[in-house]
Amino acid sequence: MRGVVIHAPGDVRVEEREDPTIIDPTDAIVRLTATCICGSDLWPYRGIEPVDHTPMGHEYVGVVEEIGADVKTLKVGDYVVGSFVISDNTCEICRSGYQSQCVHRTFVAQIGTQAEKARIPYADGTLVATPGEPTEEQVRHLLAASDVLGTGWYAAVAAEAGPGKTVAVVGDGAVGLMAVLAAKQLGAERIIAMSRHPERQALARHYGATDIVEERGKAGIAKIKELTDGLGAHSVVEAVGTQESFMQAVGATRGGGHLGYVGLNYEVQIPGIRLFFAGIRAEGGPAPVRRFLPDLIRLIWDGAIDPGKVFDLTLPLEEAAEGYRAMHERRATKVLLTL
Amino acid sequence: MRGVVIHAPGDVRVEEREDPTIIDPTDAIVRLTATCICGSDLWPYRGIEPVDHTPMGHEYVGVVEEIGADVKTLKVGDYVVGSFVISDNTCEICRSGYQSQCVHRTFVAQIGTQAEKARIPYADGTLVATPGEPTEEQVRHLLAASDVLGTGWYAAVAAEAGPGKTVAVVGDGAVGLMAVLAAKQLGAERIIAMSRHPERQALARHYGATDIVEERGKAGIAKIKELTDGLGAHSVVEAVGTQESFMQAVGATRGGGHLGYVGLNYEVQIPGIRLFFAGIRAEGGPAPVRRFLPDLIRLIWDGAIDPGKVFDLTLPLEEAAEGYRAMHERRATKVLLTL
């Protein structure tokens, strides 16, 4: 099969990879119909994370082509969406809603779904079937649910976005925009998107942002305080993952408020004393997307949300290298790869 | 009046300080009947925090001697316990239960309650009157409520200690021991105290610890996992505040579990990537003791808890320097100063 492999930083190739086969009886082989490039794929692309002939990709939708003997909830031909983290969905951690910390967790990034097919372990615990064959438009929305929507949604839930709350979202990338969508769906009263890009501001407003703040760092914190009677936001989503953005998010959260964070790069060092005196509640990590997938699929099927709008560049898989370049150069927010 | 002043690291003196007077109509003057030395007082004593002829102390109980014109809930002669953080208890942050982040917050450490008297601003919002005159024994328990019990209690609440939960407490100082007491009162099923001092282990068991773990760092994390089916504790209290202890606490918390932290020293730098992949919920900061004071006073009055046992050395105020030495040299867990 064809698949994306990064040979070295900046060197993205689409080449022949071995076809996957069933190994364990809980596996499924999925023929992928769409995949995409994640902001986190840029870490190895930019050499921030080690990379050496590494298959890429962890977001995926597709059709079940083959199942292992123990797969119960799926059948060949089902259209499925999967989380970017493999989970059995039966262990004690999964049952508490933290499937991304499953005792059997594996990151799908190690499988590499920027490819024609993928072997998905623990298929029952990782994949969710859609009610039927999706339209081309629905495919885009469902693909978003695999990571970027699920992650933004988790960030908003971790930040306890909800009725009566003012939610500030640090970061206007795809995850930040999805967090705005989620905050709106969760009933937040006021949603402040922190963005200085006009086209992303427009999309943030489309998804429910009531205010835009262009300032960053200390000036950004000051602006959020100015908008919240000097107190800070009840709920803050951190969707960038740098030192500056994380501390901006901490500073924008009111005492006793909630911070949801869904990405922290390798260089971030959080000064304990600043976290301490902030007096906040913080939750984050790789998003337990599997917890939310059934609800997200239903919202997409009902036409209640349109997360697929975050894909602003669509390319065939064979042109993945151009997709990486476009995201690296910020010409695209999120690239969808067709198969 | 007489009061403790640290002239320079290690140089503790009891000397004349100016008598406090009412300045704002919301003030009260409290004649202190007991005060104590906190683990955090050792930071300036050891030169970790700057100190220069600094009045010391932030824990206190005593009798109201004078009130400002706007004080409503207290009268002269009331026996009171106060939080170590001044709060108005009426602002939006206070009403949400985070009085230690009050818009009018001041740290009592800036007042210095290792002294005969103290001016307490926002007396209605900071002090709580006891049902009557306490016995000498009750004074010890009430004094603990002012910080060390209130802080340990908050840590256990922040860690969501409760029925069905396994709680691990990192730190066997006074706050850690109080967190054990709190976890027991909150109904935790299993309470693991991390301690290698036999006398503190005994006190931890007295307060409700069901297990003792002597290992620290990675070995400590491994032991907690071994005791929890490989998952980690549901709830972890961090009550030391060093780099090693904080990362031990993060590592001992299961995915989706809760970490409550109530002290982080100036040197702690939390590696973002480790916090991220731990996938935990963390809450901490200076404890909103005022939230818990009414309940804690009632539990003490009912004889349900005996937090005063953490004081293992009692000295007259004039001998404060020996008290600091004893805590610095770990000859005492917590020193009570009588007046």
* B254 to chain A: closest CA residue: A93
Does the structure show a pLDDT above 90 at B48?
Answer: no
Please compute, for residue A293, the number of CA atoms within 13 A of its CA located in the half-sphere on the CB side.
31
Cβ A264–B273 below 8 Å, yes or no? Answer: yes
Report the Cα A104 to chain-centroid distance in Å.
Answer: 20
**Pairing between strand B28-37 and B60-67?**
antiparallel
Cα separation, B67 vs B76, whole angstroms: 7
* Minimal C-alpha gap between A151 and chain B (Å): 13
B311 at interface of A, judged by CB pairs closer than 8 A:
no
Does the structure show a pLDDT above 90 at B329?
Answer: yes
> Binning pLDDT at 50, 70 and 90, where does residue B296 land?
very high
Residue A249 corresponds to which tokens in the numbers above? 């998010």
Does the structure show a pLDDT above 90 at B337?
Answer: yes
For B253-288, write each residue's pLDDT tens digit. 999 999 999 989 889 999 999 999 999 999 999 999
Does the structure show a pLDDT above 90 at B157?
Answer: yes
- Interface test mutation site (partner B, options A49, A270, A291, max chain B beta carbons within 10 A): A270
The ipTM assigned to this model is: 0.96
Does the structure show a pLDDT above 90 at B299?
Answer: yes
Q: Quick one: pLDDT at residue B5?
A: 98
Q: Quick one: pLDDT at residue B49?
A: 86
Of A97, A270, A277, Cβ closest to residue B269 = A270
Q: Quick one: pLDDT at residue A49?
A: 86
Q: Quick one: pLDDT at residue A271?
A: 98
Domain boundaries, chain A: 2-147+288-338, 152-284
Q: Quick one: pLDDT at residue A327?
A: 96
Q: Quick one: pLDDT at residue B215?
A: 97
Cβ A279–B284 below 8 Å, yes or no? Answer: yes
Of B246, B279, B286, Cβ closest to residue A285 = B279
Cα separation, B320 vs B36, whole angstroms: 9
3-class DSSP assignment, residue A17: coil
Does the structure show a pLDDT above 90 at A265?
Answer: no
Give the DSSP per-residue string, A56-88. ----EEEEEEEE-TT--S--TT-EEEE-SEE--
- Start-to-end Cα distance in chain A: 11
Give the mean pLDDT of chain B: 97
Q: Quick one: pLDDT at residue B266?
A: 87
For B91-117, write each residue's pLDDT tens digit. 999 999 999 999 999 999 999 999 999
B212 at interface of A, judged by CB pairs closer than 8 A:
no
Residue A150 corresponds to which tokens in the numbers above? 């699920």
Of B96, B100, B264, Cβ closest to residue A275 = B264
> Binning pLDDT at 50, 70 and 90, where does residue A302 land?
very high
Cα separation, B142 vs B126, whole angstroms: 15
Q: Quick one: pLDDT at residue B7?
A: 97
* A158 to chain B: closest CA residue: B281
Q: Quick one: pLDDT at residue A192?
A: 98
Q: What is the mean pLDDT of residues A163-173?
A: 97
Q: Quick one: pLDDT at residue A20?
A: 98
Count CB neighbours of A14 within 10 A: 18
* A154 to chain B: closest CA residue: B279
Lowest-confidence segment of A15-24, B47-56, B60-69, B248-257 by average pLDDT:
B47-56
Tell me the CATH class for A152-284: alpha beta
Count CB neighbours of A338 within 10 A: 16
B93 at interface of A, judged by CB pairs closer than 8 A:
yes
Q: What is the mean pLDDT of residues A207-211?
A: 98
On chain B, the residues whose CB falls within 8 A of the CB of A272 are 241, 243, 246, 264-270
Cβ A276–B254 below 8 Å, yes or no? Answer: no
* A229 to chain B: closest CA residue: B92
Cα angle B58, B62, B64 (rounded to 5 degrees) comes to: 110
On chain B, the residues whose CB falls within 8 A of the CB of A94 are none
Three-class secondary structure assignment of chain B: CEEEEEEECCEEEEEECCCCCCCCCCCEEEEEEEEEECHHHHHHHCCCCCCCCEECCCCEEEEEEEECCCCCCCCCCCEEEECCEECCCCCHHHHCCCHHHCCCCEEHHHCCCCECEEEECCHHHHEEECCCCCCHHHHHHHHHHCCHHHHHHHHHHHCCCCCCCEEEEECCCHHHHHHHHHHHHCCCCEEEEECCCHHHHHHHHHHCCCEEECCCHHHHHHHHHHHCCCCCEEEEEECCCCHHHHHHHHHHEEEEEEEEECCCCCCCEEEHHHHHHHCCEEEECCCCHHHHHHHHHHHHHCCCCCHHHHCCEEEEHHHHHHHHHHHHCCCCCCEEEEC
Q: Is B231 exposed, middle or buried (0-12, 13-18, 19+ CB in 10 A)?
A: buried
Residue A321 corresponds to which tokens in the numbers above? 């290298």
Cβ B279–A100 below 8 Å, yes or no? Answer: yes
Tell me the CATH class for B2-147+288-338: alpha beta
Cα separation, B313 vs B330, whole angstroms: 11
Q: What is the mean pLDDT of residues A72-93?
A: 98
* Minimal C-alpha gap between B314 and chain A (Å): 31
Phi, psi of A190 (to 5 degrees): -140, 135
Q: Quick one: pLDDT at residue B42?
A: 94
> Binning pLDDT at 50, 70 and 90, where does residue A185 land?
very high
Q: What is the mean pLDDT of residues B218-235?
A: 98
Of B230, B256, B273, Cβ closest to residue A97 = B256
Integer-rounded Cα Rg, in Å, for chain A is: 19
Q: Quick one: pLDDT at residue B265?
A: 86
Q: Which percentage of chain A shows pLDDT scores above 70?
A: 100
Facing residues of B30 across strands?
A: B64, B118
CB contacts under 8 A, A 105-164 vs B, are 158
B281 at interface of A, judged by CB pairs closer than 8 A:
yes
